[in-house]
Amino acid sequence: MAQAKLKLGVLISGGGTNLQALIDACANSDFPAEIALVLSNIPDAFGLQRAKKSGISTSIINHKDFEDRDGFEAAMTAELKDAGVELVCLAGFMRILNNTFVGAWRDRMINIHPSILPAFKGLHTHDRVVQEGVKFSGCTVHFVVPDLDSGPIIIQAVVPVNGDDTGETLGERVLEMEHKIYPEAIRLIATKSIRVANGRVQINDGNYAVDGVINPALVN
């Protein structure tokens, strides 16, 4: 009997290129997860069209329709639970989440950030990297905790910063790696190949010879 696939809820606010990477991964019959719901706080987010094109259920919960963040997040939680979501994936979701929402999905919500955390948390990452003269950047998939961009790290990829890079050109190369490591992080979670211990992710998977930080060359 085939094992049930992990049900994902993907939260978006924009174009959804990382969402598309997850849609493509889930289209493979041997991928151990499926997208149960795509939820956006922006009614005209292009990512909703990506989901509908692939026959994935969508929901719009506009934060502007609520008097406070608690009401907005309670509505999101209700939608996610109604869809049977087991793992929440933030994919360009541009709202800061309250501790209550984060706590409700502890160790069941992940995010992808375009830097090698804990360096360059927050916004405008690529421009800041170029301005600082950093030689390597990259991206990180991590569990979400109340502190911004600070949860246990699941997987990272490294991208060299070229001397003539702008924030835009660097961002394009980092995004390519985001599309590889986000599905891989979900695969590790869905196959129960990782656990969180003492604030760190430990990986128990024969494909990897290292624990915690994954060489992007090992990601197909």
The domain locations on the chain are 1-105, 111-220
| Alpha helices, H only, 31-155 | 46-53, 69-82, 99-104, 125-132
- Distance between CA atoms of 47 and 20, rounded to whole angstroms? 8
- Distance between CA atoms of 210 and 156, rounded to whole angstroms? 12
For the chain, give the mean pLDDT. Answer: 92
Amino acid present at 72: F
Residue with tokens 């008097």: 67
Closest residue by Cα to residue 126 from 166, 185, 86, 69: 166
Contacts within 8 Å (CB) and 24+ apart, 132-139 = 134/161, 135/160, 135/161, 136/160, 136/161, 137/161, 137/170, 137/174, 138/174, 138/177, 138/216, 139/112, 139/113, 139/114, 139/115, 139/174, 139/177, 139/178, 139/181
Report pLDDT for 203: 86
Report pLDDT for 1: 56
- Distance between CA atoms of 77 and 136, rounded to whole angstroms? 37
Ranges of the chain whose pLDDT falls below 70: 1-2, 205-220
User: Whole-model pTM above 0.85?
Assistant: yes
Provide the β-strand partners of residue 111: 90, 142
113 included as an active-site residue: yes
CB atoms inside a 10 Å sphere around CB 146: 14
Report pLDDT for 217: 46
CATH fold of the domain at 111-220: Rossmann fold (3.40.50)
pLDDT in tens, 174-204: 999 999 999 999 999 999 999 998 889 988 8
Encoded tokens for 196: 């969180």
Report pLDDT for 218: 46
| CATH among 3.40.1280.10, 3.40.50.170, 3.40.50.720, 3.40.190.10 for 1-105 | 3.40.50.170
For helices 17-26 and 167-190, angle between their N-to-C axes, nearest 10 degrees: 30
Active-site position among 63, 113, 124, 142:
113
- Distance between CA atoms of 218 and 196, rounded to whole angstroms? 22
Domain 1-105 identical in fold to domain 111-220: yes
pLDDT in tens, 23-50: 999 999 999 999 999 999 999 999 999 9
